[in-house]
Amino acid sequence: MKFKLKKSYMEDLELFEYKSDMVWYGAILLFLVLFPVWAGNYWTYNLTLAGVYCIAALGLNILTGYTGQISLGHAAFFAIGAYTVGYMTSILGLSYWLALPLAGVNSALIGLIVGLPALRLTGIYLAIATMSFAFIIEHVIIEWPSVTGGANGLIINRPSIGGWSLNTDASYYYLVLIMVVLFVLLTKNIIRTPPGRALVAVRDSEVAAQTMGIPLAKVKTQAFALSAFYTGIAGALFAPLINFIGPDNFTIMESINFIVMIIVGGAASIHGSIFGAIFITLLSEFIRVGKDALPTFMQQQVGFQGAVYGLIIMVFILFEPMGLYGRYLKLKYLFEVFPLYRKDTFRREKKFQKTERTR
């Protein structure tokens, strides 16, 4: 394993532990910046969509991965962000650059309100309550046409900076890329400072957190609000990207989609959120490509994509609980300590008694 001699506490807090990491991430960033140039519009659009979902996945990870509060209703916050932008730009005619932050704030406020009754709920109760919240929002969207366009949906135009419109796939891509980088840095900062540690404390042991002076109620509601903020901004970026939003974009399956992203990518991990978002967004592409390799009768089946999706969820839960990022870490560790790797290094602990399960 690589070893770095550190001479100050500040070095332990740095973003990049090793100089080589900085080079790698720099290269990835360069790749991303040059992506639209060689990849073409279709893939640029898809990667932009993946970027929007990255932000949503980061948001969900903050609440579910780091703070341990299960939310099956994040599509609601996604919708709130999208429709705030929709209402303010398409119906009120205001500037997108005003609507974008307000979408986040609006979402955060509602997240705060949702977080309050959620304080006393845990586990399945919280999951079902958040799911119910999402259903309610879905119906509010349909029944409030003056604000949301109802079942007919809303058309949202791409924003413009000065006189220059972000109409092209490439121009909007850069907007989303910048936002993703900003949110990744924000998340990184939260995680390595007291607020992030408080979130993890609340997840791992509420009792111990209380004895450390952590105000549970405050931290949980703040986690909800913060998570909603992220997802609201994601929704606000989503709306102009696809130009048209309707209630069908924000169903329970969308909420589940977000959860699947963090499961597949890796919960409580920034890398995981990104891996998961990209993987799931591009999944339909992967399936399309992979389909050609299969016998014809399977190819033509109408539910094929759904079946693969369901299988992926199941496979990851059973075999890759740490997600793609976890698998990457495990492989990295394997190579680093080779040939001294021990077989059950990452075996999970199973709990067989009700009393041992705290979540």
Query: 239-268: which residues touch another protein (CB under 8 A)?
Result: 252, 256, 259-260, 263, 268
Q: Is 211 exposed, middle or buried (0-12, 13-18, 19+ CB in 10 A)?
A: exposed
Nearest-angstrom CA–CA distance, 262 and 195: 21
Of these, 10, 37, 293, 340, which contacts another protein (CB under 8 A)?
Answer: 10
DSSP letter (8 states) at residue 165: E
If one counts every other C-beta atom within 10 angstroms of the C-beta of residue 294, the result is 12
Residues 286-305 that bind another protein (CB under 8 A): 301-305
- At residue 154, the 3 state secondary structure works out as strand
Residues 17-76 contacting another protein, CB under 8 A: 64, 70, 72
Name residues contacting another protein, limited to 172-201 (CB under 8 A).
186, 189-190, 192-195, 197-198, 200-201
Minimum CB–partner distance for residue 262 and another protein (Å): 10
Q: How far is the CB of 204 from another protein (least distance, A)?
A: 4
**Contact positions with another protein (CB under 8 A) in 141-160:** 142-143
Write down the least CB distance from residue 222 to another protein, Å.
8
Query: Which residue, 96 or 279, has its beta carbon nearer to another protein?
Result: 279
What is the rounded distance in angstroms from the CA atom of residue 2 to the CA atom of residue 61?
Answer: 29
Using the rule CB under 8 A, give the single segment among 26-34, 51-59, 130-138, 157-165 that binds another protein: 130-138
Residue 3 φ/ψ, nearest 5 degrees: -130, 135
Least Å from the CB of residue 239 to another protein: 24
* Shortest distance (Å) from residue 152 CB to another protein: 15
Measured from the CB atom, is 33 or 314 closer to another protein? 314
The DSSP-derived string for 131-152 is: HHHHHHHHHHHHT-HHHH-GGG
Contact in structure between 270 and 187 (CB atoms under 8 Å): yes
In the window 65-124, what residues touch another protein (CB under 8 A)?
A: 70, 72, 117, 120-121, 123-124
Which position among 23, 289, 294, 314 is part of the footprint of another protein (CB under 8 A)?
A: 314
With CB under 8 A as the contact rule, the residue among 43, 46, 102, 135 that binds another protein is 135
Binding test (CB under 8 A) with another protein, winner from 33, 136, 161, 331: 136
Q: Compute the distance between CA of residue 202 and CA of residue 192 in angstroms, rounded to an integer.
A: 16
Query: How many chain residues touch another protein (CB under 8 A)?
Result: 82
Residue 8 φ/ψ, nearest 5 degrees: -150, 155
Amino acid symbol at 101: P
337 binds another protein (CB under 8 A): no
* Given 34, 311, 331, 337, the residue binding another protein (CB under 8 A): 311
Helix (H) or strand (E) segment spanning residue 67: none
The single residue among 1, 5, 318, 340 that binds another protein, judged by CB under 8 A, is 318
Please give the residues from 201 up to 230 whose contact with another protein meets the rule CB under 8 A. Answer: 201, 203-216, 222
DSSP per-residue string spanning 81-117: HHHHHHIIIIIS---HHHHHHHHHHHHHHHHHHHHHH
User: What count of residues does the chain have?
Assistant: 359
